[in-house]
Structure 1
Amino acid sequence: MSTSNESIKLTLNGDPRSLAAGATAADLVEELGLSGRRIAVEINEEIVPKSQLADTRLADGDHIEVVHAIGGG
Protein backbone atom coordinates (compact mmCIF):
# COMPACT_ATOMS: atom_id res chain seq x y z
CA MET A 1 0.00 0.00 0.00
CA SER A 2 1.51 3.31 -1.04
CA THR A 3 0.66 6.55 0.60
CA SER A 4 1.08 9.70 -1.38
CA ASN A 5 1.46 13.01 0.34
CA GLU A 6 2.31 14.87 -2.84
CA SER A 7 0.66 18.21 -3.33
CA ILE A 8 0.21 20.74 -6.08
CA LYS A 9 0.56 24.49 -5.73
CA LEU A 10 -1.96 26.74 -7.39
CA THR A 11 -3.32 30.24 -7.18
CA LEU A 12 -6.89 30.62 -5.92
CA ASN A 13 -8.47 34.06 -6.29
CA GLY A 14 -4.97 35.57 -6.26
CA ASP A 15 -3.72 33.69 -3.19
CA PRO A 16 -1.30 30.74 -3.14
CA ARG A 17 -2.84 27.42 -2.07
CA SER A 18 -1.79 23.78 -1.91
CA LEU A 19 -4.01 20.79 -2.63
CA ALA A 20 -3.46 17.05 -2.80
CA ALA A 21 -2.13 15.89 -6.14
CA GLY A 22 -4.98 14.48 -8.24
CA ALA A 23 -7.59 16.84 -6.76
CA THR A 24 -10.44 17.90 -9.02
CA ALA A 25 -12.20 21.22 -9.32
CA ALA A 26 -15.15 19.60 -7.49
CA ASP A 27 -12.81 18.63 -4.61
CA LEU A 28 -11.72 22.26 -4.34
CA VAL A 29 -15.31 23.53 -4.35
CA GLU A 30 -16.18 21.05 -1.58
CA GLU A 31 -13.10 22.00 0.45
CA LEU A 32 -14.13 25.65 0.19
CA GLY A 33 -17.60 24.76 1.52
CA LEU A 34 -19.28 25.95 -1.66
CA SER A 35 -20.99 22.75 -2.81
CA GLY A 36 -24.55 23.46 -3.90
CA ARG A 37 -23.93 27.21 -4.12
CA ARG A 38 -24.30 29.32 -7.24
CA ILE A 39 -20.69 29.80 -8.27
CA ALA A 40 -18.58 30.01 -11.40
CA VAL A 41 -15.17 28.34 -11.59
CA GLU A 42 -12.55 29.59 -14.00
CA ILE A 43 -9.28 27.69 -14.49
CA ASN A 44 -6.51 29.38 -16.44
CA GLU A 45 -8.99 31.91 -17.87
CA GLU A 46 -11.50 29.27 -19.03
CA ILE A 47 -14.90 28.78 -17.41
CA VAL A 48 -15.46 25.18 -16.34
CA PRO A 49 -19.12 24.10 -16.63
CA LYS A 50 -20.52 22.85 -13.34
CA SER A 51 -21.20 19.48 -15.00
CA GLN A 52 -17.46 19.06 -15.64
CA LEU A 53 -16.05 20.04 -12.22
CA ALA A 54 -15.73 16.43 -11.03
CA ASP A 55 -13.86 15.45 -14.20
CA THR A 56 -11.50 18.43 -14.22
CA ARG A 57 -8.20 17.57 -12.55
CA LEU A 58 -6.22 20.46 -11.15
CA ALA A 59 -2.53 20.78 -12.02
CA ASP A 60 0.48 22.39 -10.43
CA GLY A 61 0.55 26.08 -11.37
CA ASP A 62 -3.15 26.42 -12.24
CA HIS A 63 -4.72 29.84 -11.73
CA ILE A 64 -8.25 29.46 -10.41
CA GLU A 65 -10.96 32.01 -9.79
CA VAL A 66 -14.11 31.05 -7.92
CA VAL A 67 -16.85 33.65 -8.14
CA HIS A 68 -20.12 33.67 -6.19
CA ALA A 69 -23.21 34.45 -8.23
CA ILE A 70 -25.11 37.30 -6.60
CA GLY A 71 -28.73 37.93 -7.43
CA GLY A 72 -30.12 41.41 -7.55
CA GLY A 73 -32.82 43.47 -8.96
Structure 2
Amino acid sequence: MHVIINGEGRDIPEGLTVRGLLAHLDLAGGPVAVEINREIVPRADHEHHPVSPGDAIEIVHFVGGG
Protein backbone atom coordinates (compact mmCIF):
# COMPACT_ATOMS: atom_id res chain seq x y z
CA MET A 1 0.00 0.00 0.00
CA HIS A 2 1.15 3.56 -0.58
CA VAL A 3 1.72 6.03 2.26
CA ILE A 4 3.67 9.25 2.75
CA ILE A 5 6.50 8.99 5.30
CA ASN A 6 8.29 12.20 6.27
CA GLY A 7 7.13 13.82 3.03
CA GLU A 8 8.14 10.97 0.69
CA GLY A 9 5.84 8.46 -0.97
CA ARG A 10 6.60 4.86 0.04
CA ASP A 11 5.09 1.48 -0.67
CA ILE A 12 4.83 -0.69 2.44
CA PRO A 13 3.21 -4.06 3.19
CA GLU A 14 -0.51 -3.99 3.93
CA GLY A 15 -1.85 -4.68 7.41
CA LEU A 16 0.92 -3.00 9.40
CA THR A 17 0.40 -1.34 12.73
CA VAL A 18 2.61 1.57 13.79
CA ARG A 19 4.85 -0.90 15.64
CA GLY A 20 5.06 -3.09 12.53
CA LEU A 21 5.88 -0.05 10.39
CA LEU A 22 8.70 0.95 12.72
CA ALA A 23 10.09 -2.59 12.56
CA HIS A 24 9.78 -2.57 8.76
CA LEU A 25 11.78 0.69 8.68
CA ASP A 26 14.38 -0.61 11.20
CA LEU A 27 13.38 2.08 13.71
CA ALA A 28 11.99 -0.19 16.43
CA GLY A 29 15.11 -0.03 18.61
CA GLY A 30 15.06 3.58 19.75
CA PRO A 31 12.70 6.21 21.03
CA VAL A 32 10.54 7.71 18.29
CA ALA A 33 7.55 10.01 18.00
CA VAL A 34 4.94 9.11 15.39
CA GLU A 35 2.25 11.34 13.93
CA ILE A 36 -0.35 10.05 11.47
CA ASN A 37 -2.49 12.56 9.60
CA ARG A 38 -1.42 15.30 12.03
CA GLU A 39 -2.43 13.27 15.11
CA ILE A 40 0.24 12.03 17.51
CA VAL A 41 0.02 8.29 18.13
CA PRO A 42 1.01 7.60 21.76
CA ARG A 43 3.67 4.91 22.22
CA ALA A 44 1.15 2.80 24.16
CA ASP A 45 -1.02 2.66 21.01
CA HIS A 46 1.75 1.72 18.53
CA GLU A 47 0.98 -2.00 18.79
CA HIS A 48 -2.69 -1.58 17.89
CA HIS A 49 -2.89 1.55 15.71
CA PRO A 50 -3.29 0.51 12.05
CA VAL A 51 -1.53 2.17 9.15
CA SER A 52 -3.94 2.80 6.25
CA PRO A 53 -3.39 3.52 2.56
CA GLY A 54 -2.78 7.21 1.94
CA ASP A 55 -1.77 8.01 5.53
CA ALA A 56 0.61 10.93 5.96
CA ILE A 57 3.11 9.73 8.58
CA GLU A 58 5.81 11.73 10.30
CA ILE A 59 8.43 9.83 12.29
CA VAL A 60 10.99 11.59 14.46
CA HIS A 61 13.70 9.58 16.13
CA PHE A 62 15.76 11.02 18.92
CA VAL A 63 19.52 11.05 18.87
CA GLY A 64 21.53 11.62 22.04
CA GLY A 65 24.67 13.63 22.11
CA GLY A 66 26.36 16.56 23.61
Structure 1 letter corresponding to 2:61: H
> Alpha carbon RMSD of aligned pairs, Å?
1.4
Q: Secondary structure at the match of 2:34?
A: strand
Give the one of 10, 16, 24 matched to 1:17. 10
Unpaired runs of 5+ residues, structure 1, are: 1-7
Q: TM-score, normalised by structure 1?
A: 0.80
- Count of residues paired in the alignment: 66
Unpaired runs of 5+ residues, structure 2, are: none
Q: TM-score, normalised by structure 2?
A: 0.87
Identity %, equivalent residues:
41
Q: Which structure has the higher relative contact order (CA within 8 Å, separation 6+)?
A: 2
